[in-house]
Amino acid sequence: GAVVSQHPSWVICKSGTSVKIECRSLDFQATTMFWYRQFPKQSLMLMATSNEGSKATYEQGVEKDKFLINHASLTLSTLTVTSAHPEDSSFYICSARGWGDSDYGYTFGSGTRLTVV
Amino acid sequence: SQKIEQNSEALNIQEGKTATLTCNYTNYSPAYLQWYRQDPGRGPVFLLLIRENEKEKRKERLKVTFDTTLKQSLFHITASQPADSATYLCVRSGGGADGLTFGKGTHLIIQP
């Protein structure tokens, strides 16, 4: 089945630094990838949609200059949290969907726990 | 705005019984309702998808229904097992390559 690999699984960084999270589709081409954020005991909130070769579409309230998304190939999307602050600490999850799999839902990565100290 | 509401934050069920989780949506019917399982510290795992023109879908011990009159989906796990303990997420999608709207989830605990 479709597999999405997300790295790193956890990261601790100092306030003011940047962190890059990678999301790879291992056995299929992902024309569209999604980035979500989840706070404790909350539901996943969509942050942005990235399409291969074009600019990402950000949800209302998400700062595009702070959360940089690059979807340079059909198998890789990256999310960079720039100038991270403690309030950016959260669980970040990517999701991918190729073509022709409308009966099978979306495939999610295992998530990245970001802690900003 | 479109909302997904899962009424129960937590549900305790005795092993062997059927667990039934409820999901309600507001405004117009989504093209799809999906159910995912999420374990602590992990990403969601897809379980079942049901279209608005389908009444019921089954997969092994799982069954999901879609009632557009009640604006509700029910998710059933029959012959529940402790390994079924997890958070179950109800998700709406409009079809196509669009993002998903998640409910807050129901934390299901199957007690031996």
Q: Are strands B10-14 and B106-111 parallel, antiparallel or unpaired?
A: parallel
For residue B47, the chain A residues in CB contact (below 8 A) are 105
Asked if B90 is an interface residue toward chain A (Cβ–Cβ < 8 A), one would say no
For position B75, what pLDDT does the model report? 97
Split at pLDDT 50, 70, 90, the class of B3 is confident
Which parts of chain A have pLDDT scores under 70? 1, 98-104
pLDDT tens digits for B16-58?
999 999 999 987 778 889 999 999 999 999 999 999 899 999 9
Cβ pair A43:B99 closer than 8 A: no
Cβ pair B42:A110 closer than 8 A: yes
- CA-CA distance, A95 to A34, in Å (whole number)? 5
- CA-CA distance, A13 to A19, in Å (whole number)? 7
Query: How far does the CA of residue B48 sit from the closest CA of chain A (Å)?
Result: 7
- CA-CA distance, A53 to A56, in Å (whole number)? 9
For position A5, what pLDDT does the model report? 94
CB A71 within 8 A of CB A95: no
For residue A103, the chain B residues in CB contact (below 8 A) are 49
The chain A residue lying nearest B39, using CA atoms, is: A110
**Helices and strands per DSSP (H, E), number in chain A:** 0, 11
The chain B residue lying nearest A106, using CA atoms, is: B46
